[in-house]
Structure 1
Amino acid sequence: DAPTVLDALPAELTERFEREGWLLTRSYNDEIGASVAEAFGTEDRAAVESYCHANGITFEWQTDGGLRTRQRRSAVVRHPATGRRCWFNQIAFLNEWTMAAEVREYLVDVYGADGLPFNTRFGNGDPIGEDVVQLLNNVYESHTAREPWQAGDLMLVDNVRTAHSREPFEGPREVLVALADPVRLADCSPTVEVTSE
Structure 2
Amino acid sequence: MPPPPGGGGRRRLADGAAVLRDLPTALVERFERHGWELLRTHNGPVGVDWQSAFATTEPAEVERYCRENDIAYTWAADGTLRTRRIRPAVRRHPGTGERIWFNQIAFLNEWTMDPAVREYLVFEAGPDGLPFNTRCGDGSPLDRATVDLINEVYEAHTVSEPWRDGDVLVVDNLRTAHSRLPYRGERRIAVALADPVTVSRS
What is the TM-score with the length of structure 2 in the denominator?
A: 0.91
How far off is 1:170 after superposition? 1.9
Q: Which has the higher strand share?
A: 2
Greater alpha carbon shift after TM alignment, 168-177 vs 46-55: 168-177
Query: Contact 2:45 / 2:124 at 8 angstroms: preserved in 1?
Result: no
How far off is 1:136 after superposition? 0.8
Greater alpha carbon shift after TM alignment, 11-20 vs 28-37: 28-37
Residue of 39, 43, 58 corresponding to 2:53: 39
1:25 corresponding residue in structure 2? 39
1:109 corresponding residue in structure 2? 123
Secondary structure of the residue aligned to 1:60 is strand
1:95 corresponding residue in structure 2? 109
2:68 corresponding residue in structure 1? 54
Note if 1:137 corresponds to 2:151.
yes
RMSD: 0.9
2:20 corresponding residue in structure 1? 6
How far off is 1:147 after superposition? 1.9
Stretches of 4+ aligned residues off by more than 6 angstroms: none
Structure 1 residues not aligned, in runs of 5+ = none
Q: Percent identity?
A: 56
Q: Tell me, in whole angstroms, the C-alpha distance in 1 between the residues paired with 2:38 and 2:172.
A: 23
Residue of 172, 183, 192 corresponding to 2:186: 172
Query: Contact 2:44 / 2:125 at 8 angstroms: preserved in 1?
Result: no
Residue of 169, 178, 190 corresponding to 1:155: 169
2:6 corresponding residue in structure 1? none
1:128 corresponding residue in structure 2? 142
How far off is 1:22 after superposition? 0.3
Structure with higher RCO (Cα < 8 A, 6+ apart): 2
Q: Deviations over 1:28-83 (max 9, x none)?
A: 00641000101000120110000000111000001100100000000000001101
How far off is 1:129 after superposition? 0.7
Q: Tell me, in whole angstroms, the C-alpha distance in 2 between the residues paired with 1:109 and 1:173.
A: 35
What is the TM-score with the length of structure 1 in the denominator?
A: 0.93
Q: Tell me, in whole angstroms, the C-alpha distance in 2 between the residues paired with 1:31 and 1:114.
A: 12
Q: Tell me, in whole angstroms, the C-alpha distance in 2 between the residues paired with 1:177 and 1:30.
A: 29
> Which residue identity is paired with 1:81?
G
Q: Tell me, in whole angstroms, the C-alpha distance in 2 between the residues paired with 1:171 and 1:140.
A: 28
Secondary structure of the residue aligned to 2:133 is strand
Structure 2 residues not aligned, in runs of 5+ = 1-14
> Which residue identity is paired with 1:10?
P
Structure 1 residues 133, 30: CA separation in 2 closer, same or farther (over 3 Å shift)? closer
2:8 corresponding residue in structure 1? none
